[in-house]
Amino acid sequence: MSMKTCIDYQFDAEIFIPALLSTYDRIAGTANFHGLKPLPQMQVIGEICNELLELMFPGRCGRERRGLTLDQILLQQLEQVGAALKGQILLAYQYEDPSLERYDAMVQSDQIVRSLSALLPQIRLDLKKDVQAGYDGDPATKTIREVVLSYPYIKSLTTHRIAHELFKMGVPLIPRMMSEFAHSETGIDIHPGAQIGSSFFIDHGTGTVIGETTVIGNNAKLYQGVTLGALSFPKDGCGSLIRGVKRHPTIEDNVTVYANATILGNITIGANSIIGSNVWIKDSVPANSMVTIAEVQMTIREINNRR
């Protein structure tokens, strides 16, 4: 609704403003961003994710850069996305530690971007294997290019593999913002802490959830709606959540998990196993196993359409 169509209304400031103000300091100030230094912005993070996708697969976005060689295009793209990412990481460091001098935050941000740049060749090789896994694993696709251009898991995995490296480097805020951007774009929710091996394929992908401490081996395949989650959240003696402990599944090499399966807790699905649709698993599964729900009896009856 346009603000111009709203009916004019004046609040009683003496009543509403004090009441509203009283809610802004109830969580030790952590829920209130007013007065803080500028924060990373989701819109900018989204633009960075898209530019990184273009860097990994030049031309995917349909841009014309006539007269430039591939190495010139890559350098231009890397400089552009590197500068934008450095700026957002700088803001994240200043948010995390307000006492950090701007120069020190700039140095740290520059080091992070340079370290990430050195990892990009290996990330791209991993993504090429992911693309090949999609082509090999889905008879509905005609070409490799179709996978790159249209399959949502490629966008999700490109973002994840880069966000994961930033997560390991200890960069605050940015990795999770990247993963949530990819989640909003693709319906695939991968925490940046999740470790994912090579040649990974998520078919369809909608509703797939992969938790922070999940470990996935090589040549694994998931379908839509799969949840690799936590069974419970461990707490310390004071009742606070214990963070960082292994609480999500390990999926070993060559495992296939079919649609809407739910696998919970720090358990292991052994290599070469097949997990059927709609199962609920909270105990480890040995290698070379097939897990399915017992066959349900189906009833077919005639519908009387006479009125």
Q: CATH 1.10.3130.10 occupies which residues in the chain?
A: 37-187
Is residue 191 pLDDT above 90, yes or no?
yes
Q: Where in the chain is the domain with CATH 2.160.10.10?
A: 194-307
* Residue pLDDT, tens place only, 129-156: 999 999 999 999 999 999 999 999 999 9
The pTM of the full predicted model, rounded to 2 decimals, is 0.88
Burial of 84 (0-12, 13-18, 19+ CB in 10 A): middle
The pLDDT value recorded for residue 91 is 95
The SS3 call for residue 244 is coil
Buried b (16+ CB within 10 A) or exposed e, 246-274: ebbbbbbbbbbbbbbbbbbbbbbbbbebb
Q: Cβ distance 94 to 120 under 8 Å?
A: no
What is the pLDDT at residue 7?
67
Low-confidence winner among 25-39, 77-91, 161-175 (lowest mean pLDDT): 25-39
Side-chain-side CA neighbours of 72 within 13 Å: the count stands at 5
Measured in whole angstroms, how far is the alpha carbon of residue 245 from the centre of its chain?
Answer: 19
What pLDDT, on a 0 to 100 scale, did the predictor assign at position 1?
A: 46
Instruction: Report which of 198, 211, 220, 201 is spatially closest to residue 269, judged by C-alpha positions.
Output: 220
The bridge status of strand 250-251 relative to strand 215-216 is parallel
The topology (CATH level 3) of 37-187 is serine acetyltransferase, domain 1 (1.10.3130)
Is 303 or 262 the better-scoring residue by pLDDT? Answer: 262
68-90: pLDDT as tens digits? 899 999 999 999 999 999 999 99
Domain 194-307 has CATH 3.40.50.2300: no
pLDDT value at position 200? Answer: 98
Q: Kind and range of the H or E element at 105?
A: helix 102-137
Q: What is the pLDDT of residue 18?
A: 83
